[in-house]
């Protein structure tokens, strides 16, 4: 029986985590969950948003499934998500955006993957005040991290049967930092002649994705651009409630929905569990449970297409528990 670390999260997190656990069990996968805490709930209970035992558990199991965590805006502790990625060196953020039949969207058949560098850039958090009226953030780009993430993107493209990788940058303005990322990407691309490579300036990339997203397959970017563009891609397929994410390193991986914890809806049985379930699908694929992952994904797509036993944001009238129960029944 595989051990997996479980973080139920804050806000709506415990409800959608319960839905995902129920669905995984219905698919016939036996997992021993090692439950730990993080986020606002952990801060209240343990005095820190990331207890030591949480990091130790993920290091031990090598795999974690995490629901959303609450991070204060503008003050308070830094993002726990970012801190976990840094602590565990989960350098690759994998964000697939794929259309579900039955979901209102300007496009059909979108199948994009953003590979985002997870450990540096402005998210390194190196910032300080300059006097009382100015603040300065330092953008860190290294050759090692840039080459590592581009290698990951090309290896993923080969494994997933994708034919093109697009590197995103702003090297026309930031000639040293983004220039180094672009130089590194071009160097790595030479080692993968079987995969087409191109680069795009980030503002142009945003426009291209809105106008003709079908031209792109795998997009690799530094931390900030990857964060923004992956949310843009989510918008192309119906929103963050449908999109999962994976944070992958050499020794561990953490899977999560990419939306927030939405505290105002906590405990109301109205949260859409799709992104959490899709994160579980990615996790199952990572641990080799591909058959179960495929069955869950297909059943979820069929449930959403029918549009009845789904949450209100998907056009139905079901609650979180009822949607999970309907999906469980389909799997059984």
Catalytic residues, by residue number, are: 123, 170, 203, 227
The residue to which tokens 């009845």 are assigned? 308
Residue 108 main-chain phi, psi, to 5 deg: -120, 155
Residue 266: CB partners within 8 Å, gap ≥ 6? 10, 11, 12, 15
How far apart are the C-alpha atoms of 21 and 5, rounded to whole Å?
A: 12
How far apart are the C-alpha atoms of 286 and 29, rounded to whole Å?
A: 13
Do residues 137 and 126 make contact, with C-beta atoms less than 8 angstroms apart? yes
Find residue 168's DSSP bridge partners: 200
Residue 267: CB partners within 8 Å, gap ≥ 6? 15
Residue 316 main-chain phi, psi, to 5 deg: -105, -165
What is the per-residue burial (b if ≥16 Cβ within 10 Å, else e) of 293-322?
bebbbebbbebbeeeebbbeebebebbbeb
The residue to which tokens 């999962």 are assigned? 244
How far apart are the C-alpha atoms of 280 and 244, rounded to whole Å?
A: 8
CB atoms within 10 A of CB 179: 16
Nearest CA among 315, 274, 285 for reference residue 98? 274
């Amino acid at each position: 029986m595989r051990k997996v670390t479980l973080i139920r999260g804050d806000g709506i997190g415990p409800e959608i985590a319960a839905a995902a656990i129920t669905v995984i069990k219905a698919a016939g996968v036996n997992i021993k969950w090692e439950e730990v805490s993080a986020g606002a709930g952990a801060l209240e209970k343990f005095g820190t948003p990331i207890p030591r035992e949480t990091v130790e558990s993920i290091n031990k199991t090598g795999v974690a499934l995490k629901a959303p965590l609450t991070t204060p805006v503008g003050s308070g502790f830094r993002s726990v998500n970012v801190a976990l990625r840094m602590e565990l060196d989960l350098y690759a953020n994998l964000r697939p955006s794929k259309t579900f039949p039955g979901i209102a969207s300007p496009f059909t058949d979108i199948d994009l993957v953003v590979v985002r560098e997870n450990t540096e850039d402005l998210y390194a958090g190196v910032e300080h005040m300059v006097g009382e009226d100015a603040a300065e953030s330092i953008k860190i780009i290294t050759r090692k991290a840039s080459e590592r993430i581009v290698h990951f993107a090309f290896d993923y493209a080969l494994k997933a049967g994708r034919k093109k990788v697009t590197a995103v940058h702003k090297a026309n303005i930031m000639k040293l930092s983004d220039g180094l990322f672009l130089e590194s990407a071009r160097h790595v691309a030479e080692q993968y002649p079987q995969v087409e490579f191109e680069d795009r300036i980030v503002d142009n990339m945003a426009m291209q994705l809105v106008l003709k997203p079908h031209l792109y397959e795998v997009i690799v970017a530094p931390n900030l651009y990857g964060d923004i563009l992956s949310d843009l891609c989510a918008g192309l397929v119906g929103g963050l409630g449908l999109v999962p994410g994976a944070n992958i390193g050499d020794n561990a991986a953490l899977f999560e929905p990419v939306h927030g914890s939405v505290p105002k809806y906590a405990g109301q049985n109205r949260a859409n569990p799709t992104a959490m379930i899709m994160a579980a699908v990615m996790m199952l694929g990572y641990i080799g449970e591909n058959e179960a992952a495929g069955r869950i994904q297909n059943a979820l797509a069929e449930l959403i297409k029918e549009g009845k036993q789904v949450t209100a944001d998907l056009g139905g009238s079901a609650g979180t528990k009822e949607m999970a129960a309907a999906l469980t029944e389909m799997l059984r």
